[in-house]
Amino acid sequence: MKKVVATLLSFLLLVTVASISTVASEQSFGRVDTEGSNLHVRSGPSTEYSILGRMSDGTYFEIVGEENGWYQIVTPTVSGYVCGEYVLPVSHNNVGKVDTEGSRLNVRTGPSTSYTSITKLSDGTYFEILSEENGWYQVRLNATTTGWLCATYAVTYDIPEPEPQPQPTPDPAPSNGYIWPAEGPTVITQNFSSGHPATDISYNGTSLSQLGGGPRDVYAANDGVVEYVYTGCTHRKQPYICCNGGTGYGGGGNVVVIRHADGNYTMYAHLDVGQVFVEKGDTVSRGQVIAKMGNTGQCAGATGIHLHFEFREGYNSSAYSVDARNYVSP
């Protein structure tokens, strides 16, 4: 029986010590807030317990526990319980403690030993730090007394702040504005219509009858992801050669389709042989060169070098194409 009791007492002692250590490791502090009166320090957490001592208004102390609205506290001169109604919690970053290995520490009127001593603090006394200058702390000792003490004989409680957790990198905000997809000066050689769901763009109209003439860069009209690429057309337009641009793209020749963050799609067709610079799945930026104008595809009739540009609202289908000039202008 004695062994059981001893074991139980040891367990309770360990629990108590662990609880106090946990609170103490958090370094909680308080200040007496009684509007000028003294605060009783009692042997237990209620007014039924005996008075062990008194603290004047503004006195600082360490809080090591809490029970039923009472704080268990520690000071250099008295330890016990005080009523929480008369305690003002204090940030640990503003609190220091005298550390003189048993000696008393002068509190002076200014930040050097040349200033007059106004009081002495016992080893272990807590204080509030108001400022720092040349290795001296300006401190508040209680509700009415401030002064300066040498920082060499004080410890502070700068508990490290929790390390910031890495935040997920948001996806880059899409550009709201679309740009003209071809290098200028350009002209529109065929407008959008019900029978032609695109805007045909050429450099100076017909001057690109030869592939070597003028700039032919094709730009991504906005930020996005390449949804589709076809580069199977290996011959430029000749009367007897046509290339259908892959399934669903008619005589588009070499084709690129870009899906944009707003849910719209842009299609670029008749691109030149060997001059498509992106692949399916690539992320592209507004204004990035994705290809060169060409004249691939188009199974009937002559065609000059131009860009067949479609703007598709919400779905990757010509049935949803609208006039690109609703979104962009040359």
Highest mean pLDDT among 1-5, 40-44, 72-76: 40-44
pLDDT tens digits, 110-141: 999 999 999 988 888 888 888 888 889 998 87
Q: Of all residues in the chain, what percent carry a pLDDT higher than 70?
A: 75
- Contact indicator for 325, 214 with CB cutoff of 8 Å: no
Cα 211 from Cα 201, distance rounded (Å): 15
Residue 196 tokens, joined: 């032609």
The residues, any chain, with a CB within 8 Å of residue 167's CB and separated by 6 or more, are none
- Please tell me the predicted confidence (pLDDT) of residue 207: 42
Q: How confident is the model at residue 93 (pLDDT cuts 50, 70, 90)?
A: low
User: Which of 13-27, 83-97, 199-213 has the weakest average pLDDT?
Assistant: 13-27
- Predicted TM-score of the model (pTM): 0.46
Distances (CA, A) of 58 to 76, 128, 137, 190, 258: 15, 10, 18, 85, 69
Stretch 284-311: mean pLDDT: 81
Could you tell me the domains of the chain?
Answer: 26-90 (2.30.30.40), 94-156 (2.30.30.40), 186-326 (2.70.70.10)
Mean pLDDT computed over every residue of the chain: 78
Residue showing tokens 């605060």: 39
Cα 309 from Cα 267, distance rounded (Å): 6
- Is 260 in a helix, a strand, or coil? strand
36 or 237: whose pLDDT is higher?
36
User: Which of 10-24, 143-157, 220-234, 285-299 has the weakest average pLDDT?
Assistant: 10-24
Stretch 57-71: mean pLDDT: 87
Sign of the alpha-carbon dihedral angle for 251, 301, 322, 184: positive
Name 250's bridge partners: none
Stretch 173-185: mean pLDDT: 72
User: Which of 55-59, 205-209, 232-236 has the weakest average pLDDT?
Assistant: 205-209
Strand 283-284 relative to strand 265-276, pairing: unpaired
- The angle formed by the CA atoms of residues 245, 246 and 250, to the nearest 5 degrees, is 55
Listed residue (76, 140, 145) closest to 104, CA to CA: 76
- Please tell me the predicted confidence (pLDDT) of residue 227: 94
- Please tell me the predicted confidence (pLDDT) of residue 92: 63
Cα 230 from Cα 274, distance rounded (Å): 11
Q: How confident is the model at residue 155 (pLDDT cuts 50, 70, 90)?
A: confident
Name 131's bridge partners: 138
